[in-house]
C-alpha cells in the first residue's frame, strides 16, 4: 500500500485531531466549534481561509505556479447526528444527544492531513480549494453553499468528495461511473376525519382506518407504477395518531421518504402518491393533505473524473483493492448538489471492522483511525495526478 511517507508519519497528529473533533459533534448549520477548529488548523498550515458560506462553511485554498492553471475542489462534510453516543470511549461526545456517527470527523481530518502535506510540499501545479461544508445530513448544506456562490467565488474545473464505508475492507476504495446514489425526497401526509367514541363508529370519519389503507396503497407505487428495471423506494417511516383505547382521533399524520435515480421516475412517484391520497380522500370521505418535497438530487459521477479518482486510488491501494464498478445504492448524499454544477466524482473508502467500530448512524459507531493516512494519501495523490507539476 503506497501511503505517502510524509502523511504516514502524521498518524499520531491525525488521530489526535480526529478524536478532538469527535468530542464536539455539532449538527446542521450549528458547526461553530467544529468550523473554528478546522479553520485554525488550515490557517496554521498557511492556507488562505474563507469562512461564512452557508454559515459555518469553509473554503481554504492553495495555489501553485503561475498563469492560467486549472482549479479543483475537494469536499468534506462537518456535521454530526442527533444520536446519543454509546461507545464509552474516552473521547466520546461531550455534546448531549449529538454524535459523530457517520464519520464526518474522520472525513475532515483526512482532508486536513492532505492540506497540511500539500502546503508543506511543492508537488502540484494549479489551485486546490478545500471545501468544508455544514449540514450534509438531511439539511443540504452543500446545496446552500452552491446557492450562495461557491463556484462563482471559487471556480473549479471539477470537484471530488469521499465517504467512509464500514462494510468495505479497510483501505479499499469503491466507486462507479454515472448514478451512484439516489435522489432523496420526503413527504408529509395529514389525514383529517372526525373523531369520536370508539364504540360509535357510525358517527365518525376514522383517520386510523384510512391510514392503514394508505400505507398499503403506497406500497403499490413501486410494485405497479414503476418500470421494474428502474429503481425506486417508497418508505413510510412515521405514523402518529390517537390518544386512548376508546377514542377515535380527528387526525393521523404520516411521513416518509422516496428514492430514485431518474427524473421521470421521481415525477411518477410524486404524482402517484398525490393521486392515491386523492382517491383515499374520496373513498373515506375524509381530508388528505400531501406535502411532497424534493430534497437531494441523485449523485452522478462523470466519466473523466471517475477515472481520475480511480487512478489515484489505485496508486494508493493497488488495483486489487479498488472496486471500479459497484452497484449504486439508494441512500443519498448532498454532494450531489455540487455534482449538478461541476463534473466530479464521489469515492467510497473502506473503513472495515464494523464489528468493532459499528455501522454508520449507530450509537456504537466509531471512525477507524487506521484509514486516516490512507484517505489523506488518496486526496494528495488525486491532486498530484490531476494537477501535475510537469504539465
Ligand atoms: Zn450519514
Ligand atoms: Zn455521512
The predicted-structure confidence for 163-192, as pLDDT tens digits, reads as follows: 999 999 999 999 999 999 999 999 999 999
In the three-class reduction of DSSP (H, G, I as helix; E, B as strand; rest coil), residue 48 is classed as strand
Tell me the β-bridge partners of 48. 61
Ligand in nearest proximity to the CA of 184: 1
Q: Is the pLDDT of residue 344 over 70?
A: yes
**Closest ligand relative to 105 C-alpha:** 2
- CA 332–ligand 2 middle distance (angstroms): 9
Report the run of H or E that residue 305 belongs to, with start and end: helix 303-317
Q: Are 123 and 389 in contact (CB under 8 A)?
A: yes
- Going from the Cα of 197 to the center of ligand 1, the distance in angstroms, rounded, reads 44
Residue 355 pLDDT class (50, 70, 90 cuts): confident
Residue 207, all three cell numbers = 383517520
**Spacing, Cα 81 to ligand 2 middle (Å):** 9
pLDDT for 173 equals: 98
Rg (the chain; Cα; Å): 24
Domains of the chain: 5-180+298-386 (3.40.630.10), 183-296 (3.30.70.360)
Q: 157 C-alpha vs ligand 2 centroid, how far in Å?
A: 24
3-state secondary structure of 151: helix
The per-residue pLDDT for range 252-283, each reduced to its tens digit, is: 999 999 999 999 999 999 999 999 999 999 99
CA of 351 to the centre of ligand 1 (A): 14
> Which of the ligands is closest to the CA of residue 137?
1
What is the structure's pLDDT at 2? 81
Q: Is the pLDDT of residue 378 over 60?
A: yes
**How many whole angstroms from 165 Cα to the centroid of ligand 1?**
11
Task: Place 1 in a pLDDT band, splitting at 50, 70 and 90.
Answer: low
Q: How far is the CA of 331 from the centre of ligand 2 (A)?
A: 10
CB 114, CB 132: distance < 8 Å: no
Query: How much distance in Å is there from the Cα of 211 to the middle of ligand 1?
Result: 30
State yes or no: pLDDT of 389 exceeds 80: yes
For residue 102, the CA-to-ligand 1 centroid distance in Å is 5
For ligand 2, the distance from its centroid to the CA atom of residue 360, given in whole angstroms, is 8
Interval between CA 254 and ligand 2 midpoint (Å): 26
Could you tell me the distance, in angstroms and rounded to a whole number, from the CA of residue 133 to the centre of ligand 1? 14
CA of residue 136 to ligand 2 center, whole Å: 7
State the maximum Cα–Cα separation within the chain, in Å, rounded to a whole number.
Answer: 83
Distance in Å, CA 207 to ligand 2 centroid: 37
- At 92 the pLDDT is 97
Q: Which ligand approaches the C-alpha of residue 164 most closely?
A: 2
Quickly state the pLDDT bin for 228 (edges 50, 70, 90). Answer: very high
d(CA 308, CA 325): 14
Average pLDDT, the chain: 96
Residue 391 has pLDDT above 70, yes or no: no
Is residue 349 within 8 A of residue 36, CB to CB? The reply is no
Strands (E), 261-382: 287-296, 299-301, 322-323, 344-350
Say what the pLDDT of residue 354 is. Answer: 78
Instruction: Report whether 343 contacts 196 (CB < 8 A).
Output: no
Q: How far does residue 361's CA lie from ligand 1's centre (Å)? A: 6
Flag whether pLDDT at 324 surpasses 90. Answer: yes
Q: Between β-strands 183-192 and 322-323, what pairing exists: parallel, antiparallel or unpaired?
A: unpaired
Segment 60-102, tens digit of pLDDT: 999 999 888 999 999 999 999 999 999 999 999 999 999 999 9
Amino acid at each position: 500500500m503506497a501511503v505517502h511517507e510524509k502523511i504516514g508519519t502524521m498518524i499520531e497528529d491525525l488521530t489526535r485531531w480526529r478524536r478532538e473533533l469527535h468530542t464536539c459533534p455539532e449538527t446542521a448549520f450549528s458547526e461553530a466549534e467544529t468550523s473554528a477548529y478546522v479553520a485554525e488548523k488550515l490557517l496554521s498550515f498557511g492556507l488562505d481561509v474563507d469562512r461564512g458560506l452557508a454559515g459555518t462553511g469553509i473554503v481554504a485554498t492553495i495555489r501553485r505556479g503561475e498563469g492560467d492553471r486549472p482549479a479543483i475542489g475537494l469536499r468534506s462534510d462537518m456535521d454530526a447526528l442527533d444520536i446519543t453516543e454509546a461507545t464509552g470511549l474516552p473521547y466520546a461526545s461531550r455534546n448531549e444527544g449529538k454524535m459523530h456517527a457517520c464519520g464526518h470527523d474522520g472525513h475532515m481530518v483526512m482532508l486536513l492531513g492532505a492540506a497540511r502535506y500539500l502546503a508543506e510540499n511543492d508537488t502540484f501545479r494549479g489551485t486546490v480549494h478545500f471545501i468544508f461544508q455544514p449540514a450534509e445530513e438531511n439539511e443540504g448544506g452543500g446545496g446552500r453553499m452552491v446557492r450562495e456562490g461557491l463556484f462563482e467565488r471559487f471556480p473549479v474545473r471539477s470537484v471530488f468528495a469521499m465517504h467512509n464505508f464500514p462494510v468495505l475492507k479497510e483501505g479499499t476504495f469503491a466507486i462507479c461511473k454515472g448514478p451512484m446514489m439516489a435522489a432523496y425526497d420526503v413527504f408529509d401526509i395529514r389525514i383529517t376525519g372526525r373523531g369520536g367514541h370508539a364504540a360509535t363508529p357510525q358517527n365518525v370519519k376514522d383517520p386510523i382506518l384510512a391510514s392503514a389503507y394508505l400505507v398499503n396503497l403506497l406500497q403499490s407505487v413501486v410494485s405497479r407504477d414503476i418500470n421494474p428495471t428502474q429503481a425506486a423506494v417508497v418508505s413510510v417511516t412515521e405514523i402518529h395518531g390517537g390518544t386512548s383505547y376508546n377514542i377515535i382521533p380527528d387526525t393521523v399524520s404520516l411521513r416518509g421518504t422516496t428514492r430514485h435515480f431518474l427524473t421521470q421516475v421521481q415525477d411518477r412517484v410524486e404524482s402517484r402518491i398525490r393521486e392515491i391520497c386523492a382517491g383515499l380522500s374520496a373513498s373515506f370521505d375524509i381530508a388528505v393533505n400531501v406535502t411532497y418535497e424534493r430534497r437531494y438530487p441523485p449523485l452522478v459521477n462523470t466519466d473523466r473524473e471517475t477515472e481520475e479518482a480511480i487512478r489515484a486510488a489505485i496508486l494508493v491501494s493497488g488495483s486489487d483493492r479498488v472496486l471500479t464498478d459497484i452497484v449504486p445504492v439508494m441512500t443519498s448524499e448532498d454532494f450531489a448538489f455540487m455534482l449538478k454544477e461541476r463534473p466530479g466524482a464521489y469515492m467510497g473508502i473502506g473503513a472495515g471492522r464494523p464489528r468493532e467500530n459499528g455501522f454508520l448512524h449507530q450509537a456504537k459507531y466509531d471512525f477507524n483511525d487506521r484509514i486516516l493516512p490512507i484517505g489523506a494519501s488518496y486526496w494528495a495523490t488525486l491532486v498530484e495526478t490531476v494537477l501535475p507539476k510537469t504539465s
